[in-house]
Amino acid sequence: MTTLTTPPVSDTRGGGSRRPAVLTVENLSVVYEVERPVTAVKNASLTLAPGEILGLAGESGCGKTTLAYAINRLHRPPARIAEGSITFHDRSGDDIDVLALENDELRRFRWDKLSMVFQGAMNALNPVTTVKAQLDDTLRTHRPGMSRAERRQRSEDVLRRVGVDPARMRSYPHELSGGMRQRVMIAMAMLLEPQLMVMDEPTTALDVVVQRDILREIVRLKDELSFAVIFITHDLPLLLEISDRIAVMLAGEIVELAPSDQIYRAPTHDYTKKLLGSFPSLSGARGAFIRSGVDEEEAR
């Protein structure tokens, strides 16, 4: 795996505090090389601390998904990373130059160090393979030293963690409800205990109750296992509840990056103010619903 010799950086952006980082993105630009090239991400810089949830907010088309895919090196032509750097600060102490990874190194890096939960689990799970086989395949590929019994044990553990009865392992994706499928996707993403998970609208297609349950699980698991999360959604009220910091994107640029409280109470950029104003529910008290696990009724 390609490593750099630079020491782990500290996070002085947004939060103001100096914390070790798990990821540093510097001046990243991504261009779609079409007839009239579109710079979908412009000079984006951010750092992420271990165990931190960073929310990415902004209207449709502002470049959130393009940025997330580029961080994962999942972008495909015509998308091209035109400039910038992405450095992953491994817990082993190595710094990994993500843009320099090739083939096997890149495959190992994905899932192992960093994993992604996409919008709509049906597209990401293999429809003709059982949940058990999908978990087992990933473990066999990435953990060749594990015995069959250990793989089974690990698969069952990870499903239990996300609230899926291991008895459902024999199911095919289409036999599960939307919420269950999304939980299985999160289990897959957690399987190898990555240090960072990128979640792109992971619960948008689900009804509100299921969505809240799953989000609570994500926050709980993150606290327990201390992986960092980049969480993408249009839903700013939701981001304010679950994120430590929020990056607001406008036309490919991160125009504001600050702790959630600061974004809520004292936004500095006009666009952030406009975005906050477009959610009427935010004029009331800010709920601590997901973080506290308190029922809305009880909280009143």
Ligand X SMILES: Nc1ncnc2c1ncn2[C@@H]1O[C@H](COP(=O)(O)OP(=O)(O)OP(=O)(O)O)[C@@H](O)[C@H]1O
x/- contact string, 226-245, with ligand X (CB under 6 A)?
--------x-----------
Closer residue to ligand X in complex, CB, 251/282: 251
Q: Which of 66, 72, 87, 182 binds ligand X (CB under 6 A)?
A: 66
x/- contact string, 31-60, with ligand X (CB under 6 A)?
-x-x---x-x-----------------x-x
Pick the stretch among 64-72, 88-96, 240-248, 290-298 that binds ligand X (CB under 6 A).
Answer: 64-72
d(CA 232, CA 213) in angstroms, rounded, equals 17
Interaction between residue 203 and ligand X (CB under 6 A): no
- 8 A C-beta contact, residue 269 and residue 221: no
d(CA 208, CA 74) in angstroms, rounded, equals 29
Other CB atoms within 10 Å distance of the CB of residue 50: 16
Closer residue to ligand X in complex, CB, 64/110: 64
Residue 171, classified by CB atoms within 10 Å of its CB into exposed (0-12), middle (13-18) or buried (19+), is: middle
Residue with the two structure tokens 């130059």: 97
Closer residue to ligand X in complex, CB, 64/154: 64
- 8 A C-beta contact, residue 69 and residue 118: no
Closer residue to ligand X in complex, CB, 60/147: 60
d(CA 223, CA 141) in angstroms, rounded, equals 28
Closer residue to ligand X in complex, CB, 29/65: 65
- 8 A C-beta contact, residue 252 and residue 42: yes
Interaction between residue 181 and ligand X (CB under 6 A): no
Closer residue to ligand X in complex, CB, 176/248: 248
Interaction between residue 78 and ligand X (CB under 6 A): yes
Kindly state the DSSP code that residue 285 receives in the 8-state scheme: P
Here the tokens at position 139 are: 């473990």
The answer for 224, left when phi > 0, alpha when psi is -120 to 50, beta otherwise, is: alpha
Q: Which of 11, 23, 54, 63 binds ligand X (CB under 6 A)?
A: 63
d(CA 260, CA 278) in angstroms, rounded, equals 17
- 8 A C-beta contact, residue 196 and residue 228: yes
Interaction between residue 65 and ligand X (CB under 6 A): yes
- Closest approach of ligand X to the CB of residue 55, in Å: 13
Closer residue to ligand X in complex, CB, 25/96: 25
Q: Which of 53, 62, 164, 263 binds ligand X (CB under 6 A)?
A: 62
- Closest approach of ligand X to the CB of residue 61, in Å: 4
Chain residues in the site for ligand X (CB under 6 A) = 32, 34, 38, 40, 58, 60-66, 78, 234
